[in-house]
Amino acid sequence: MNQVDHEATRQAMTEQVAAFIANPAGWPAAMAARALRLRSGHPAYSPSNHALIVSQLWSRFTAEGLDDDDAFDAAMRAAAEEIAPRNIWAQRGYVPTGGALAIWSLPLPKWVDPSTGKKVTKDTPGAEERRVFRIEKTYRAADVVNGRGETGEAAFSTPELPEGEAREVFERLAAWITGQGWTVERSDRDMAEDGWTAHASRRIVVHGGLAGWAAVGTLAHEIAHALLHGAEDERPYAGQHRGDIEAEAEAVAFGLLTEFGQGELARGSARYTAEWTRSPERVAIAYERSCHVLDALAAVATGAEDVTLTRSAKAERAQAKADNKALATALREAGVEPKGEAWRRAKAGEPIEAIAADLATAA
């Protein structure tokens, strides 16, 4: 595959964004996972019970020989798997093989006579209702087995990606980012998002129900987040910056899907960026800021080896433009026009408050 034609790809993306804003009828879904469902599991436990489960698993894995950090990481991952009470597993045809986890029950009502503290019926005059909790047991899918000797883990595991070019590309991208210290997983639990990225744990998770090029597009989006939006990005992942950050990541997905002829999925990407930015101009800037990531992923996707991420001149110019715009805005908010001496000093890194104070005194 030839080098990405960034001018044509950026134009196609911004035109589609403008078209969606003008008439949103008939466009493909922006997030495929909204329509997906993996096998229905037991509802998530409360935060307090989740903490109990993690602490017990942490102790279990430590006793099995893992150090504290690895045991905690394993416990967090295990706690995100399918976990359900004995009666739920029994309904599914499974019995525990051990490894019970203690949790608090739902609050159980009871009525007491306040004068004696003894339990009474709720119809007793003066009876007061109290809420009590009991210790119950729950089990991971890995710790139950059915009549054929299969653990519940198999029933709730992520389905494999179908064989084909999309699977090959997914595996190449996953291997490339894994080589840079990240982990890539396909979730075995239903979730609202197509995927997510955690910089603290360097972890990327893709919705396990996504198949084919939808999974590739999501992984490309999350890899872009991993490479562009970590601690070095001074913008908070919230407020007015969130739309630009999402557009930058999705521009990579749009470009990669376009390169492989996946026009309908790419249209969904355009819709996603339009919903976040409501501006073709912001999308064009986002594309320029992330096109070097697209270059790297396109090379990896086609089988190139030893691919390294090199920030493009276009991306540098886009970053400089954005930085200049932010600096000019800050000066104006301080009551100083971004020109002449004020601009030179601000570009040199002087505090804007000091510049404003000096110029006010000189005036």
pLDDT recorded at residue 323: 80
77 burial level (CB within 10 Å; 0-12, 13-18, 19+): middle
Q: What is the mean pLDDT of residues 250-261?
A: 98
Task: Enter the tokens of residue 100.
Answer: 């019970």
pLDDT recorded at residue 1: 47
Tens of pLDDT, residue by residue over 62-86, are: 999 999 999 999 999 899 889 999 9
- Name every residue whose Cβ is closer than 8 Å to that of residue 157 and which is 6 or more positions away in sequence: 188
18 burial level (CB within 10 Å; 0-12, 13-18, 19+): middle
Q: What is the pTM of this model?
A: 0.74
Band of the pLDDT at 310, cuts 50, 70, 90?
confident
pLDDT recorded at residue 2: 56
pLDDT recorded at residue 21: 98
How many whole angstroms separate alpha carbon 109 and alpha carbon 269?
A: 50
How many whole angstroms separate alpha carbon 119 and alpha carbon 129?
A: 10
Res 34 pLDDT > 90: no
Res 318 pLDDT > 80: no
Res 172 pLDDT > 90: yes
| CA atoms in the 13 A half-sphere facing the CB of 178 | 10
Q: What is the mean pLDDT of residues 195-210?
A: 94
Written as one string, the DSSP assignment of 74-113 is HHHHHHTS-EEEHHHHHHHTEEE-S--EEEEPPPEEEEE-
Tens of pLDDT, residue by residue over 85-98, are: 999 999 999 999 98
How many whole angstroms separate alpha carbon 237 and alpha carbon 218?
A: 18
Band of the pLDDT at 232, cuts 50, 70, 90?
confident
